[in-house]
Structure 1
Amino acid sequence: MAAFQHTVRSPALFAGIGVHTGEYTRVSVRPAAANSGVVFVRTDVKDRDNVVPVSGEAVCKTQLGTVIANDAGVTVSTIEHLMAALVMLGVDNAVVEVDGPEMPIMDGSSLPFVRVLDRAGLRPQEAPRAFIEILDTIEAVEGDKRATLTPADGFEMAFTIEFPTAAIGRQTVDLAMDEAAFRTELADCRTFGFLHEVEALRAMGLARGGTMENCVVIDGDVILNPEGLRRPDEFVRHKALDAIGDLYVLGAPILGRFEGVCAGHGLNNALVRALLARPEAWRMTTLVEDLREAV
């Protein structure tokens, strides 16, 4: 884990369609000053404040994706896959310029974002990197769904899902999570959806850009994508990827263990808000003092 903050060395540029809006958008992830965090800017919005800082409170909607908004009502949708890549590659500060309402879905995973960030490179900054160290159990529960943070020496990610289809069934993943593990275990795992839900979603204005190019599509017990899965348990691994991105709206990486049971974006954000409501259950810490003591 890096002890000091980083931003991108040069702009990371990419473009594509939004999975829900179907709109084509262009994105530039640009360098930002130390301690400024991740800030989205809607460059297509000219008539009001178009700056949308990331925070737990900024999350305004969680149906099939994470949406953030500012006080002027300007929103950016489906930020979680980029956010996961940013936190796990160690990008603390960035300005994300996007010329539409939704982040491009790319191939449905974080891998395209990892690749563009690798090309841009990272630049170290003098400010120490802050971590959210979990001191006590923090939990969000909704029926049989649950999301929990507990103390741990590093960042751990555990997730369990269960769907009544032979294509998924019950899947569990439990990983000690760092940059190398994210790159090899989670980054390429794609979002997924069910064919029978597509018409209803499109009637609600969702999934308009969803195709088998950017989503694993399931029909009954059959996976429709001709290339099949990238991993036998790609589904649960994608849920873990989502959770990492959803947690990074807190503005700092986690030192603790996340456990999700059938959780989604809504419960992940409920956990974020539970953490913010319990300041005694966590603290901000840095690794700089640890390094000084080791010298």
Structure 2
Amino acid sequence: MKQRTIAKKVELVGIGLHKGVPVKMVLEPLEADSGIVFYRSDLGVSIPMCPQNVTNTMMATVLSKGEAKISTIEHLMSAVYAYGIDNLKISVDNEEIPIMDGSSIGYCMILDEAGIRVLDANRKIMAIKKPIEVKDGDKFVRIEPSQQTIFDFSIDFAHPAIRQQSYKFVFSKQGYKEEIARARTFGFLQDVNYLRSQGLGLGGSLNNCIVLDENGILNKEGLRYKEEFVRHKILDAIGDMAILGMPLLGSYVSFAGSHKLNSLLTKKILEEVDAYELVEETEEVAIMELVKEFE
């Protein structure tokens, strides 16, 4: 299991969901053990991706270093994690990652264009050894020991188009592209004015978001999946957990989780050093044997 980066430089221009301004994004390969590094090309500031650099989780996950920040990284990082990319430079000339169509399928397409280069260094796997949980009332996110990487999410909205939804995703790259990547972010028409008063959602539209009024969905094309809402929550969770900087071997379980709770979970995992084992192995079988010892 070797580390990976992309095979060639790729770039795109898109609109930021919350600020509504054009953003040029460039993805470039990095060598082994470099990690994921964000770069504000307009400011000349690098921001390494790690839980400690998450400074805001209101409606999006935001990384900061000093006055420089990069917002709405979760959809891109979800795709990067799914493709098993360990080392990558992500440059943007503004403070937000382009929203694309509100899902991560566009990022999957650009990663397919970039290709994958396997590096001559072993990957480190974070194998979970004991349950770690963060709660907020009845809302929670939890990571548990498992022989598979699993994302199991439930939501409950008092809206006729959503109500109770649950989805369990056993992680694989192909499964991600088929089951998760096309799920779009969603929002409520009644919240638009408030969000915009807070400087958020300025780039949102029916082209990059599922919009709901009191009765149903305003998007004429309807949903892409029956459980698109909860599947998008899984997409977000994968992106937020990717901020740990290495593949997870464990089962993520959540009810009504959020960027805030995900951020608190990643920080709590790192604080409790007996909760995980960093494994560097060339054979997946060896990792499976290690996990069995934890159970």
- Look up the match of 1:168: 162
CA distance in 2, matches of 1:251, 1:236: 24
**AA in 2 matched with 1:68:** L
Compute the TM-score of the two structures, normalised by the length of structure 1.
Answer: 0.95
Give the length in aligned residue pairs: 288
- Look up the match of 1:37: 35
After TM superposition, give the deviation of residue 289 of structure 1 in Å.
5.2
- Look up the match of 1:203: 197
CA distance in 1, matches of 2:278, 2:67: 30
Instruction: Please tell me whether residue 52 in structure 1 is matched to residue 50 in structure 2.
Output: no
Provide the secondary structure at the position in 2 that maps to 1:103. Answer: coil
CA distance in 1, matches of 2:42, 2:202: 20
Listed one character per residue, the Cα deviations across residues 11-64 of structure 1 (whole Å, up to 9, x for unaligned) are: 121111100000100101100010111000000114xxx101000111000011
Instruction: Please tell me whether residue 230 in structure 1 is matched to residue 228 in structure 2.
Output: no
CA distance in 1, matches of 2:61, 2:149: 22
- Look up the match of 1:279: 273
Kept in 1: contact 2:180–2:232 (CA 8 A) = yes
CA distance in 2, matches of 1:84, 1:292: 26
Instruction: Please tell me whether residue 239 in structure 1 is matched to residue 233 in structure 2.
Output: yes
- Would the alpha carbon gap of residues 158 and 291 (structure 1) be closer, same or farther in structure 2, given more than 3 Å must change? closer
- Look up the match of 1:24: 22
Of residues 59, 71, 91 in structure 1, which corresponds to 2:85? 91
CA distance in 2, matches of 1:113, 1:293: 29
CA distance in 2, matches of 1:290, 1:75: 37
- Look up the match of 2:242: 248
**AA in 2 matched with 1:214:** N
Structure 1, unpaired ranges of 5+: none
After TM superposition, give the deviation of residue 290 of structure 1 in Å.
5.0
**AA in 2 matched with 1:158:** D
Task: Give the percent of matched residue pairs that are identical in Structure 1 and Structure 2.
Answer: 39
- Look up the match of 1:137: 131
CA distance in 1, matches of 2:82, 2:209: 22
Kept in 1: contact 2:279–2:287 (CA 8 A) = no
Of residues 36, 59, 65 in structure 1, which corresponds to 2:60? 65
After TM superposition, give the deviation of residue 276 of structure 1 in Å.
1.1
CA distance in 2, matches of 1:142, 1:293: 33
Structure 2, unpaired ranges of 5+: 289-295
Of residues 4, 11, 14 in structure 1, which corresponds to 2:12? 14
CA distance in 1, matches of 2:71, 2:146: 31
**AA in 1 matched with 2:37:** V
**AA in 2 matched with 1:264:** S
Name segments (4+ residues, structure 1) moved above 3 Å.
289-294
Pairwise CA RMSD of aligned residues? 1.4
Compute the TM-score of the two structures, normalised by the length of structure 2.
Answer: 0.95
CA distance in 1, matches of 2:146, 2:122: 21
Listed one character per residue, the Cα deviations across residues 146-181 of structure 1 (whole Å, up to 9, x for unaligned) are: 000000012101000010001100000012111111
After TM superposition, give the deviation of residue 232 of structure 1 in Å.
1.2
Instruction: Please tell me whether residue 266 in structure 1 is matched to residue 260 in structure 2.
Output: yes
Provide the secondary structure at the position in 2 that maps to 1:244. Answer: helix
Kept in 1: contact 2:71–2:96 (CA 8 A) = yes
- 1:82-161 superposed matches below 5 A: 82-161=76-155
Provide the secondary structure at the position in 1 that maps to 2:246. Answer: coil
CA distance in 2, matches of 1:23, 1:14: 14
After TM superposition, give the deviation of residue 90 of structure 1 in Å.
1.0
